[in-house]
DNA sequence: TTCCAAAATTGACCACGGTCAATTAATTTC
DNA sequence: GAAATTAATTGACCGTGGTCAATTTTGGAA
């Protein structure tokens, strides 16, 4: 599965992924059905499950790839010097993550949670995001009393919070972006010690 | 549904809930099957869905009730004066929330997310927890540069982060409690302004 | 008491993710 | 190149959540 031995295997897997990408592009992540994927790919249902760890496994790959694309770009950006800049640099990613309720659910379900031993694709991107943001922070004018790594973890926690509230009916008076700005200002620029 | 008109309705609903409670007590939340619930309750499957918004709706009620029980007790506790106290007062709740992977998933899925217009039971408990913790903080020696409400929201965000990492294979070197302590110390006791 | 409209209940049926023994294809051995 | 071995694929089948037209029960109007 991780190391296809036959060419046939790689070809089948590629067809399945291509098929899935087509369906997602056309109808969105939440509308993807395994039966549709295998039908478009021209294989039997069982083949799908021989290639991926279920529908969720495929989703991890697809969504994880998308998040990594965002992080690839984020990595090239300069260290943000203001909260506003930081928020602007995070927003594209969290906008993708909240583009569909289903996508956010999948991400949450796998964010800190490798199924078994090895860490899954989405959990990897969360680790990577902390690294990317920590690197930014090493060259940013925010609080220095704790490590950039810890700061980055906090940013992630607040991002998740902002995204979760975004889907809450009662909390739509502020935009996700505004809410995140408030959180991160409080987190990165504390005015006074206790 | 919200206002049972007939006694029969209330009785049926009570039997369904009782049945569900029995199954959960015996086998855990994740092992609950709707078919088992209706069989034990002695009603048809369709009846279940006439009484609850699906399996998830029932779970929201059951888990929400449990969380509320924890908050009932938490409300009677004094304002924590140290991070350790605060963590100790939060830990019982997050221990329940992480008692089963399935429970945590359900909670995440509904934490900030009312299905439609009205806010769901679990989302309500999240709002309530912020209130309870904010009240604690009004009488605690932590940072005062931001509102207790915002502080409480942050505590919630960090709690979720700690819980999520708890289920991650790669992150089990520290306990959930230790991780939370580190987060909350950084959040509530910033040493220096930027 | 009889009849009616609304409410509650039923259970056959569907959707969809997932399984696995059996079959077919590829690779290795001699 | 035939036989044996390993890998990939198949599709009938299952579990489980959810739907809905048909049926039964209920409370009240006449």
Rounded Cα–Cα distance for residues A126 and A149 (Å): 12
> What are A43-55's pLDDT values in tens digits?
999 999 999 999 9
- Residue in the structure block whose two tokens are 């912020």: B130
Supply the pLDDT for residue B7: 80
| Domain ranges (residues) in chain A | 1-52, 54-188
> What are A131-141's pLDDT values in tens digits?
899 999 998 99
What's the topology of domain B1-52?
Arc Repressor Mutant, subunit A (1.10.10)
Alpha helices in A7-147 (DSSP H): 7-27, 34-41, 45-51, 54-76, 83-97, 101-111, 121-137
Min Cα–Cα distance to chain B from A11, Å: 32
The residue ranking higher by pLDDT, B2 or B170, is B170
- Residue in the structure block whose two tokens are 């199954």: B23
| Per-residue tokens: A107 | 């991400």
pLDDT classification of A32: cutoffs 50, 70, 90: very high
The CATH number of B54-188 is: 1.10.357
Does the CA dihedral B147-A83-A155-A67 come out positive or negative? positive
Rounded mean pLDDT, B68-86: 94
- Residue in the structure block whose two tokens are 């990577």: A128
Supply the pLDDT for residue A1: 38
- Residue A139 burial (CB < 10 Å; 0-12/13-18/19+)? exposed
Rounded mean pLDDT, B14-42: 98
Smallest CA–C1' separation from B47: which nucleotide? C9
> What are B89-117's pLDDT values in tens digits?
999 999 999 999 999 999 999 887 543 45
Min Cα–Cα distance to chain A from B88, Å: 20
Rounded Cα–Cα distance for residues A133 and B48 (Å): 47
Rounded Cα–Cα distance for residues B40 and B20 (Å): 9
> What are B111-150's pLDDT values in tens digits?
875 434 578 888 889 888 998 999 999 989 999 999 999 9
> What are B151-180's pLDDT values in tens digits?
999 999 999 999 988 887 665 667 899 999
Of B114, B145, B160, which has the smallest distance from its Cβ to A157's Cβ? B160
- Looking at every residue in chain B, the average pLDDT score rounds to 90
Chain A residues with CB-CB distance to B105 below 8 A:
109
Kindly write down the DSSP assignment for every residue of B71-119, as one continuous string. Answer: HHHHHHSPPPSSHHHHHHHHHHHHHHHTSSHHHHHHHHHHHT--SSSSP
- Looking at every residue in chain A, the average pLDDT score rounds to 90
């Amino acid at each position: 599965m991780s190391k296809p031995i036959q060419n046939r295997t790689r070809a089948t897997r590629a067809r399945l992924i291509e098929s899935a990408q087509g369906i997602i592009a056309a109808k969105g992540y939440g509308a993807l059905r395994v039966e549709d994927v295998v039908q478009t790919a021209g294989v039997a249902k069982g083949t799908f499950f021989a290639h991926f760890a279920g529908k969720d496994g495929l989703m991890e790959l697809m969504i994880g790839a998308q998040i990594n694309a965002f992080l690839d770009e984020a990595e090239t950006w300069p260290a943000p010097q203001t909260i506003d800049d930081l928020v602007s640099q995070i927003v594209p990613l969290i906008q993708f993550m909240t583009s569909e309720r289903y996508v956010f659910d999948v991400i949450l379900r796998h964010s800190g949670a490798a199924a078994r031993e090895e860490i899954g694709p989405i959990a990897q991107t969360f680790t990577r995001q902390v690294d990317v943001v920590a690197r930014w922070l090493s060259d940013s004018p925010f609080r220095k009393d704790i490590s950039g790594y810890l700061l980055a973890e906090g940013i992630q926690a607040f991002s998740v919070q902002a995204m979760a509230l975004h889907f809450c009916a009662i909390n739509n008076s502020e935009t996700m972006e505004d809410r995140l700005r408030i959180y991160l200002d409080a987190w990165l620029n504390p005015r006074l010690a206790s």
